[in-house]
């Protein structure tokens, strides 16, 4: 039998299909996604869950004229396959390949770049207002997961959408999960929703009849309204959206193409905002993903038959070391609490939550709330550790400055996925945290050279009595021996690993590459002391200023943006002490849009691998005298 997918070059081809052909196409798309992601890695569970929704959207609407915005965007694989990128789909998340998120630079069908949650509704509202001001009549559709509704920004947008009542369609994809099972009152409310359509139709029908009853019709309508206010709270589950001014339709079976097409067509007829509540299942069509959607949310390459990862690397991940260390710390101190923003598995805190459920808090996709929630706990004598990915913590910048640092509240922030992050592209790179944290008053910024130093930093952070940020990379650690008893790291003190004439200050993940590069440079007559800086703030002033003699060389290396980063802080220290005769070089990442690729590929591109460090330092010595 011929594959229907082979004939699909764009959304116009989807519109020609019968219902039977659409169902077969859904199966073929799932097979393609499963086959590709098993080789490249990627977001499997969410994409298997939205195949029918995506097909129905392309069947009913007319992109790119009609604007379809995907919140977060990690569920856009079917969208990419249907919009002319099927033949390149095998390059998903590969260097110079297709992004795993919408990309305006990649296709005209991707109308908004997403990667962080809860942004689509605000953008859609802006596009709807702009459409009306231009006198256009195209549709604007935002596809939002129930997990994204745990983010406050989504509710700010809903508030304005309901107030202005612009024509706008919201597809709420309810699968009870973002990455991990959703938490909070909104998630419970969506679980409660059963059906609203019949209520709306009956209400409108009865109201139209009463209007035509002489004398008593209008008074009866007033009485009916009072009764309605009492009864609809019981019988109409979509009340919260209706009260906001948004027409509610649903719940709709999100894997029924016929139902989806019908309600999408119906939504187009409304003149104001409409929310369509679709119920789907993450991992639909692949049993391992259905049984364990969190594991397959963002999967590494795996064997399709067993669902098991292909990697045999037994080294621990930094995330798992963090999670284990937090259990050790909590065992000794009952005041220790942990907080994450919808990432218990990703941050390694699930075992902590299992053992200490009353001391673990998943606040949903609400980084701002997570930070200020921690401030309240700390001010009352508790010791919160807040685990949020580097790229997501930047969403809470104001809270970090205004509510943590100005009051000098002792909270420990664990910044997972700091530095270059593979496969997910520019929205997920954790390369700005040193710059956005380093200039905040009272904030301490640390980075370990390996997993053993990570555990020591976590233990030490409690003794500093200031806000502390500890950044560490995604992926496997080095597999070094772990101290049985944690060692205290003195505040602001670095570690000399190799003696030499000049100074190579390496921060965090750059320590071991710099050590190898220095060994190679030694053979070419360049003598460098390699120092594990440990702290970007406060700096080890004594060590740095001791070597800061006229004509000496100081080089810094960081896996982060160098502008405003670790190197900038060292340069500022030298300038403050009028050390202008130092030959100084900062090695880091330039300020630009970062490419898609593996960590090793991106490091090589920016000269952060051993070969790049050797070449860069040799050139510096040649040109600086």
Q: Which residues are catalytic?
A: 282, 367, 395
Helix (H) or strand (E) holding 182: none
DSSP helix/strand/coil, 537: strand
Nearest by Cα to 67 from 145, 120, 116, 118? 120
Overall size of the chain counted in residues: 625
Pairing of strands 535-537, 444-446: antiparallel
CB 445 within 8 A of CB 471: yes
Nearest by Cα to 419 from 268, 594, 582? 594
Cα distances (angstroms) measured from residue 370 to each of 386, 388, 393, 395, 467: 7, 9, 10, 11, 15
- CA–CA separation, 522 vs 247, rounded Å? 71
Nearest by Cα to 250 from 259, 156, 358? 259
The DSSP bridge partners found for residue 144 are 172
SS (H, E, C) 400-420: HHHHHHCCCCCCEEEECCCEC
DSSP-derived secondary structure letter, 111: -
Q: Which residues contact 262 (CB under 8 A, 6 or more apart)?
A: none
CB 598 within 8 A of CB 95: yes
Cα distances (angstroms) measured from residue 263 to each of 11, 118, 172, 260: 19, 24, 13, 5
CB 155 within 8 A of CB 149: yes
Packing angle of the helix pair 511-522, 610-624 (nearest 10 deg): 60
Pairing of strands 502-506, 383-387: unpaired
DSSP helix/strand/coil, 122: helix
Vertex 400: Cα angle to 394 and 405 (nearest 5): 145
Cα distances (angstroms) measured from residue 335 to each of 198, 360, 445, 487, 532: 51, 12, 23, 21, 31
Residue 181 CB burial class (10 angstroms; 0-12, 13-18, ≥19): middle
DSSP secondary structure string for all residues of 546-558: HH--TT-EEEEEE
SS3 content of the chain, % helix, strand, coil (to 5): 45, 15, 40
- CA–CA separation, 483 vs 225, rounded Å? 70
């Amino acid at each position: 039998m011929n594959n229907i997918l082979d004939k699909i070059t764009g959304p116009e081809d989807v519109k020609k299909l019968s219902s039977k052909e659409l169902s077969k196409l859904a199966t073929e798309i799932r097979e393609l996604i499963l086959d590709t992601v098993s080789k490249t890695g990627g977001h499997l569970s969410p994409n298997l869950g939205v195949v029918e929704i995506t097909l129905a959207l392309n069947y009913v609407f007319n992109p790119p004229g009609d604007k379809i915005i995907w919140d977060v965007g990690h569920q856009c694989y079917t969208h990419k396959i249907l919009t002319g990128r099927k033949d390149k789909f095998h390059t998903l998340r590969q260097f110079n390949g297709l992004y795993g998120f919408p990309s305006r630079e990649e296709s005209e069908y991707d109308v908004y770049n997403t990667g962080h949650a809860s942004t689509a509704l605000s953008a859609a509202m802006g596009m709807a207002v702009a459409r009306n001001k231009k006198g256009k009549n195209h549709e604007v559709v935002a596809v939002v997961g129930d997990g994204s509704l745990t983010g406050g920004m989504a509710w700010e947008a809903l508030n304005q959408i309901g107030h202005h009542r612009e024509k706008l369609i919201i597809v709420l994809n309810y699968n009870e999960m973002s990455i991990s099972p959703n938490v909070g009152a909104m998630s419970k409310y969506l679980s409660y929703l059963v059906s609203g359509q019949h209520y709306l139709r009956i209400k409108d029908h009865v109201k139209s009849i009463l209007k035509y009853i002489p004398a008593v019709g209008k008074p009866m309508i007033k009485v009916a309204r009072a009764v309605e206010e009492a009864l609809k709270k019981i019988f109409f589950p979509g009340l919260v959206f209706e009260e906001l001014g948004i027409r509610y339709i649903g719940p709709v079976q999100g894997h029924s193409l016929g139902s989806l097409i019908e309600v999408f067509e119906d939504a187009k007829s409304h003149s104001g905002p409409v929310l369509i509540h679709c119920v789907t299942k993450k991992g639909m069509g692949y049993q391992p993903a259905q049984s364990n959607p969190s594991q397959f949310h963002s999967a590494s390459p795996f064997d399709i038959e067993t669902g098991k990862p292909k990697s045999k690397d037994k080294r621990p991940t930094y995330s798992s070391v963090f999670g284990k260390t937090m259990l050790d710390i909590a065992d000794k101190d009952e005041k220790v609490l942990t907080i994450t923003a919808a990432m218990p598995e990703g941050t390694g805190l699930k075992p902590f939550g299992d053992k200490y459920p009353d001391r673990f808090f998943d606040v949903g996709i609400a980084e701002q709330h997570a930070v200020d929630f921690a401030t309240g706990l700390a001010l009352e004598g508790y010791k919160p550790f807040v685990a949020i990915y580097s790229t997501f913590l930047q969403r809470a910048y104001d809270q970090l400055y205004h509510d943590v640092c100005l009051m000098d509240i002792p909270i420990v922030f664990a910044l997972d996925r700091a530095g270059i992050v593979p496969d997910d592209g520019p929205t997920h790179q954790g390369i700005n945290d040193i710059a956005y944290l380093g200039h905040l008053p009272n904030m301490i910024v640390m980075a370990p050279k390996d997993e053993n130093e990570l555990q020591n930093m976590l233990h030490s952070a409690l003794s500093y009595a200031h806000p502390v940020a500890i950044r560490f990379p995604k992926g496997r650690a080095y597999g070094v021996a772990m101290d049985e008893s944690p060692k205290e790291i003195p505040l602001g003190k670095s570690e000399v690993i190799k003696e030499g004439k000049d100074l190579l200050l390496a921060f965090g993940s750059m320590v071991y590459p710099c050590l190898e590069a220095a060994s190679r440079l030694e053979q070419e007559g360049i003598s460098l002391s390699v120092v594990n800086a440990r702290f970007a703030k406060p700096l080890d002033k004594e060590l740095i200023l001791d070597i800061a003699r006229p004509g000496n060389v100081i080089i810094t290396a960081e896996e982060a943006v160098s502008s405003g980063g670790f190197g900038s802080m060292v340069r500022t220290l030298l300038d403050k002490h009028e050390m202008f005769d130092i030959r100084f070089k900062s090695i880091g990442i330039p300020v630009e849009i970062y490419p898609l690729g593996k960590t090793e590929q991106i490091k090589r591109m920016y000269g952060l691998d051993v070969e790049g460090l050797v070449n860069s330092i040799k050139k510096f010595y040649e040109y600086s005298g």
